[in-house]
């Protein structure tokens, strides 16, 4: 889990069984916590073990590890819109 440096009420986290097989369904979400009820936004779209989000210093990008190809690789996506925003 990591805090967004620009939007102080947002954290990024992976939801699902993180340390399972490569085909385990795990996605990255943003969570707005400074509201009456936390709001979850799914940022990754394939669910194939997307873990360890790390936000850029300007808050625009997220780097993360994914097993979507059958191997552990690094990816980058828009921190607000997710993979749909790139």
* pTM across the whole model: 0.82
Q: In the β-sheet with 2-3, what is the strand arrangement from edge to edge? A: 2-3, 10-15, 27-32, 39-42
Q: How confident is the model at residue 33 (pLDDT cuts 50, 70, 90)?
A: confident
Mean pLDDT of the chain: 84
**The dihedral formed by the CA atoms of 51, 8, 41 and 27, expressed in degrees to the nearest 10:** 0
Please report where in the chains the tokens 């990024």 appear, as a residue.
12
- Name the burial class of residue 34, with classes exposed (0-12), middle (13-18) and buried (19+) by CB atoms within 10 angstroms of its CB: exposed
pLDDT digits (tens, 9 = 90+) for 40-84: 899 998 777 888 999 999 999 999 998 888 888 999 999 999 998
pLDDT digits (tens, 9 = 90+) for 62-74: 999 988 888 889 9
């Amino acid at each position: 889990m990591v805090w967004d440096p620009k939007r102080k009420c947002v954290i990024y986290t992976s939801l699902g069984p993180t340390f399972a097989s490569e085909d385990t369904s795990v996605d990255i979400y943003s969570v707005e916590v400074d509201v009456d009820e936390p709001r979850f936004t799914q940022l990754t779209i394939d669910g194939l073990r997307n873990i360890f989000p790390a936000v850029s210093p300007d808050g625009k990008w997220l780097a993360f590890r994914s097993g979507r190809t059958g191997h552990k690789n690094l990816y980058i996506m828009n921190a607000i819109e997710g993979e749909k925003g790139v």
